[in-house]
Copies of this chain bind each other. A is one copy, B any other.
Amino acid sequence: MPTQKDEVYGDHISHQFNEELAELKTEFLKMGGLVEQQLMDSIQALIENDGQLADDVRGRDKVVDKMEIAIDEEATKVIARRQPTARDLRLVVSVIKMVADLERVGDESKKIAKFAMGLSQEGQAPRGYVEARHIGNHVASMLHDALDAFARLDSEQALRVMKEDKRVDEEYQAATRTLLTFMMEDSRNISRCMSVMWVLRALERVGDHACNIAENVIFMVKGEDVRHASMERAEEVVSR
């Protein structure tokens, strides 16, 4: 959709502007890919007691942080230079918001890696790892699908991601109950189970961030903010 500015200044500027928007999208998706990798590596480090991989994740978080700042800066420059309106403006504003979600997923991955390192040093029988792997895979696929929905501006796929969040919450509740039982059975389990609890909590938060990204995709495509709305309302917005 052309902006006012494009209409005024004609094709050449419009072409440059489109390239800048495409570049912003590309950078965002690059950051998304890195964060996805961070998440998957942190889960693998936990499950496989891989202290080295956990250490790698922690080290790479700085790259994620730098990308956040660079994309934010670029998005703000695009606003100042191109003065986008309507759909283009929604895209740029959404990128600014979604970058914060990606950075948080990076942080949660770093946190998971930290607990993975602690747990790998203890070297005892894992408790709650089945649950952590299951929820981890679930939220990793939500994040992947949310980023894919953004890449293709596919609001229906974004809606599917939003629907998954409720299932993740249920899985998370069930997993924390299981861990609570382990803790009550034997107080020697408490410290380790607490670490796994924090991992599960971090994973549950990743699901929330994937959901936020999905909500932004719907906002970009449909122009309506579906945050805090009912699932029925979100369905209505997407189907129109």
Residues of A within 8 A of B (CB): 62, 65-66, 68-69, 72-73, 76, 79-80, 83-86, 89-90, 93, 96-97, 100, 180, 183-184, 187, 190-191, 194, 197, 201, 225, 227-228
Extra 13 A-B pairs, beta carbons < 8 Å, given A96-B96, A194-B197: A65-B228, A68-B227, A69-B228, A72-B225, A76-B89, A76-B90, A76-B93, A93-B96, A97-B97, A180-B190, A183-B190, A184-B190, A201-B201
Cβ distance A209 to chain B, nearest Cβ, rounded Å: 11
Residues of B within 8 A of A97 (CB): 96-97, 100
Residues of B within 8 A of A93 (CB): 76, 79, 96
**Could you show 24 A-B contacts with beta carbons less than 8 Å apart?**
A62-B228, A65-B228, A66-B228, A68-B227, A68-B228, A69-B227, A73-B225, A76-B90, A76-B93, A79-B79, A80-B84, A80-B85, A80-B86, A93-B96, A96-B97, A100-B100, A180-B191, A183-B187, A183-B190, A184-B187, A184-B191, A187-B187, A194-B197, A201-B201
- Residue of B whose beta carbon sits closest to that of A179: B194
Most B-side CB within 10 Å, residue of A72, A76, A180, A184:
A76
Q: Are B227 and A65 in contact (CB under 8 A)?
A: yes
Residues of B within 8 A of A62 (CB): 228
Residues of B within 8 A of A79 (CB): 79, 89, 93
Residues of B within 8 A of A90 (CB): 76
Cβ distance A63 to chain B, nearest Cβ, rounded Å: 11
Cβ distance A76 to chain B, nearest Cβ, rounded Å: 6
Residues of B within 8 A of A80 (CB): 84-86, 89
Within the assembled complex, what's the spacing in Å between the Cα atoms of A69 and B194? 36
- Residue of B whose beta carbon sits closest to that of A227: B69
